[in-house]
Structure 1
Amino acid sequence: MTDVLPTVHDSDVPYGSLAPPQCKEQLSVVYAHAVATAARCKLEHIRIDDETVDATVRQVADHKKYRKTSIDIQLKCSSSTEENDEYVKWRLKDYNYDDLRDPCRMNPIILIVVMVPKNFESWVSFDPDRFRIEARGYWISLRDWGSISNTTRTIKVPKKNRYDVSSLLGIMKRVGDGGTP
């Protein structure tokens, strides 16, 4: 099913013509940036995604091994991904899967799946007191996962791996201590 976005805003002014996948891509970056900012980390958006990396999160903090820690992130966003109480399913292309599981990377990498409501107009809202993003994200590290065939590229991202400030700080600590996400 293809997403159909409204063409006219409630204020009777036309929306722009950005396609649904590009709207989701931008919203996933906003979500990841907001989490990084709230964790007092830096997020650098990578404009050319030819390495399965959409952004890098950097942190300066006193960890056991590294004082300056970085992780790469691959962002995906959906309003219709299959999910249940335990996990969100995401289908990956072979080259993305191989990049995400590659242990020969300087920076560890995680996949973040951002879920948004089906109703486009509820993704972002404004009122006199706040700006609100209606999204939730889940993360997974595929480091050292084995090769898979074309029929088993569906990844189950555990919902216990909520991508929020606490989880990002935990990931940065594990990496900063010399471990993996």
Structure 2
Amino acid sequence: MNTKQAIVNRRSVKHYDPEHQMTDAEITELMEHVILSPTAFNLQHWRFIHVVDKEKREQIKQASWGQSQVADASALFVVCADLNAWEKDPQRYWRNAPKEVQDFMLPSIEGYYTNHHQGMRDECFRSASLASMTLMLMAKEMGYDSCPMDGFDFDKVARLIDLPHDHIIVMMITVGKKIQDARPRAGQLALSEVLFTDSF
């Protein structure tokens, strides 16, 4: 499937075959592509919890107001982000870059993020969201459907996955084999309503 097809055909599927399982190799292939997503300062803020344990999946389902996709999908990912990734051994993000690039980037990272708490949070959401879209498009390429979710109790899920204090949950994503098509698109806005040239 080419990129255009994946974009057009990707839909938010909520009903999955509970008997289908993804192999470890498929999960690895999926996520090896996800982590190629772009990210601010190459910080790779994203952290992904692949929830396999059936009891934990059921608990997360209850924290998601009983949405069956949480338990029935072949895979459930809780997409998180590390708010303090910028100060955790930052040279590793640029270890393969020329020294002159490292000498510029490392002070730039420190200068941008120090005492810039809103910037930390904003960049985490941007980076994790870019990775989430990559995850869903790659899943489609692999013959799977997916659904991004924010319909859950974030605090309860955070406790269930032992979320570190300096991390945030951005969304959850289910991946699997659909047993029911997504509903027709509800109402796309006209391009003229959302695309402008030079200014509003």
TM-score class normalised by the smaller sequence: under 0.3
TM-score, scaled relative to structure 2: 0.24
Larger radius of gyration: 2
TM-score, scaled relative to structure 1: 0.26
